[in-house]
Each structure stands twice: as C-alpha cells, then as structure tokens.
Amino acid sequence: MEPSDNGPKTPETDQPGEPDAPRRDQAARAREMGERWVGQLQEMIDQAGRQAAPVLRDVAAKAAELAAVAAEHAGPAAHKAANVTESVGNTLATRSKDLAAELRRAAESARAAQAEAEREKSKPGNGPKA
C-alpha cells in the first residue's frame, strides 16, 4: 500500500471506497432473492388452496353422509341397549329387594334367638349350680 492510499479499494473500480460496501450489496441481493422466493412460495400456496377447495368440499360431504348412515344404524342399537339395560336393571332391583328382605329376616331371627336365650338364662331354675 502506498502512503497516499485512503482505505481499501473496491474490486470493481480499484478505487478507495467503503470497506463494507460489498457485504451490503451481497445482503441486498440475498434479500431480493429471498423476497422473490417468498412471493413464489405464497403464489404456490394460494394456487394449491384454490385447487384443493373443491376436493375438500367433496371430502366433507362424504364425511357428512357417513355420519348420517352411522347415526341411522346407531339408533336401533341404542334402543336395544336401552331395553336390555332396563330388563337387567329390573332384575337386579328385584334380586336386591329379595336379598334385603332375607337379610332382615335373618337379623330378626338372630335377635329373637338371642332374646330367647336371655330369657332362658334369667329363669330361676336355670342359674349356676353350687
């Protein structure tokens, strides 16, 4: 370098210039290219959306038809399940009532037997013998 040099020279002109100028140019080109790519990508997305909309409507219509068929078939099955549940519930209720009555009778019999045993012990001739 010569003593009269005022800084680095740009490769294009071989003249003194700013040292960051090539980086700024490169960044500006990269930014322009990135913006172009984003624009192209957005256009592709928009086009795919326009083309997919009719297909998505068809898929949604088919799903609604399948849901309707499932609901039609589920109705009778639900009624049958309700009838079975009612029948089983009635049977269980009857058995539970019978069991409760049987347990009450057994408890009453046990109380009566205990009361009879107490009466037998308290009779004058049944006391302990010396």
Structural domain contains residue 108? yes
Range of the domain at 101: 21-119
| Total domains, the chain | 1
Give pLDDT tens digits for 109-125.
999 999 998 888 887 76
Give the Cβ contact number of residue 26 at 10 Å: 10
Which residues lie across from 16 on neighbouring strands? 9
Handedness of CA 33, 34, 37, 39 (dihedral sign): negative
- What spatial distance separates the first Cα and last Cα of the chain, rounded to whole Å? 140
- 127 found inside a domain: no
Residue 53 amino acid letter: A
The answer to whether the beta carbons of residues 8 and 16 sit under 8 Å apart is yes
Q: What pLDDT digit, counting tens, does each position of 4-40 carry?
A: 445 455 455 545 556 678 888 898 999 999 899 999 9
Residue 11 within any structural domain of the chain: no
Question: CA separation (Å) from 19 to 13, 22, 31, 32, 59?
Answer: 13, 7, 20, 22, 60
pTM score: 0.38
In a domain, 45, yes or no: yes
